[in-house]
Amino acid sequence: MTRTASVASSPTVGTDVTRVAVSTVIFSLRREPGEVRPTLVLPLVKRTRDPYEGAWALPGGWLDIAENLESAASRTLAETTGLSPSYLEQLYAFGAVDRSPSRVVSIVYWALVREDISRTESFENVAWFDAASLPPLAFDHNQIVGYALWRLRNKVGYSQIAHGLLADEFTLAELREVYEAILDRRLDPANFRRQVESSDTLLPTESFRTGSHRPARLYRYNQDVELADRGPLAH
């Protein structure tokens, strides 16, 4: 099934006011059959009108007058990808006067989507890109993605956020590969195991992933601990 990604239309007010948009940098993981390590990918929308017609841009839309910021992020995320995020956090408010021909303040969120459901539907005008090698994007969106990547790499170091990219059950090697893809460096399997086991965030199951060499125990994410601190509104 193919749907058309919704394209935001301008609000009814004129261009002499500041308009508020909400965009989201959506990260997921793709494991190519031949590839050794998974890669970080994100969905972009091809613009169908000026400015930057034809260029790729972050999914987003105008903030509705009766809509909370995070609701707008969830809504535009669902409209673009048909997915619901496992993690959603405000990134930054971009409001430079010259970032768009008309005055637009963009409240940007960033999100994680689990890999097992991240390719179930495809939408027109939407494509997934390798986060490490993006084309020139519309507006200041390259800068925004760069900052989101920086935040993700930072946060993976002191929170349990990597779980947000994995399916329900996973091996320690799979979890380590997520860290390696985000941080772009190898981690010692032995030390990684000890660190993550001592953090009380994993629940071992009695199942094993078999198929190659010695079977690896499957773990489940401990729902009792938050993935990460999501800001001032996460009480």
Partner DNA sequence: GCAAAAGTGTTACCTATACACCCATGA
Partner DNA sequence: TCATGGGTGTATAGGTAACACTTTTGC
Give 150 or 208: the residue with its C-beta nearer to DNA: 208
Work out how close the CB of 104 gets to its own copies at its nearest, in angstroms, rounded to a whole number: 10
10 binds its own copies (CB under 8 A): no
Q: How far is CA 41 from the centre of its chain?
A: 8
Bridge-based pairing of strands 19-30 and 39-46 is antiparallel
Q: Mark the segment that binds its own copies (CB under 8 A) among 43-51, 138-146, 183-191, 208-216.
A: 138-146
Cβ atoms of 164 and 227 closer than 8 Å: yes
Size, binding site for its own copies by CB under 8 A: 31
76 binds its own copies (CB under 8 A): no
Provide the strand spans (E) within 16-162.
19-30, 39-46, 56-57, 60-62, 87-94, 104-112, 122-124, 126-130
Report the alpha-carbon distance of residue 80 to residue 83 in Å, rounded.
8
What is the dihedral sign for C-alpha 114, 123, 82, 20?
positive
Work out how close the CB of 92 gets to its own copies at its nearest, in angstroms, rounded to a whole number: 6
73 binds its own copies (CB under 8 A): no
Give 122 or 171: the residue with its C-beta nearer to DNA: 171
Contacts for 14 with CB less than 8 Å, ≥ 6 apart: none
Work out how close the CB of 166 gets to its own copies at its nearest, in angstroms, rounded to a whole number: 27
Report the alpha-carbon distance of residue 40 to residue 30 in Å, rounded.
6
In the range 147-176, which residues lie near its own copies by CB under 8 A? 147, 150
Cβ atoms of 86 and 164 closer than 8 Å: yes
Work out how close the CB of 110 gets to its own copies at its nearest, in angstroms, rounded to a whole number: 12
230 binds its own copies (CB under 8 A): no
Neighbouring CB atoms inside 10 A of 93's CB total: 11
Give 134 or 216: the residue with its C-beta nearer to DNA: 216
Work out how close the CB of 35 gets to its own copies at its nearest, in angstroms, rounded to a whole number: 30
* Interface characters, 98-137, with its own copies (x: CB under 8 A): -----x-x-x------------------------------
Under the rule (CB under 7 A), what is the footprint of DNA? 171-173, 188-191, 193-195, 208, 210-217
* Nearest by Cα to 111 from 134, 78, 139: 78
Residue ranges binding its own copies (CB under 8 A): 11, 13, 16-20, 63, 65-69, 90, 92-97, 103, 105, 107, 143-144, 146-147, 150, 231-233
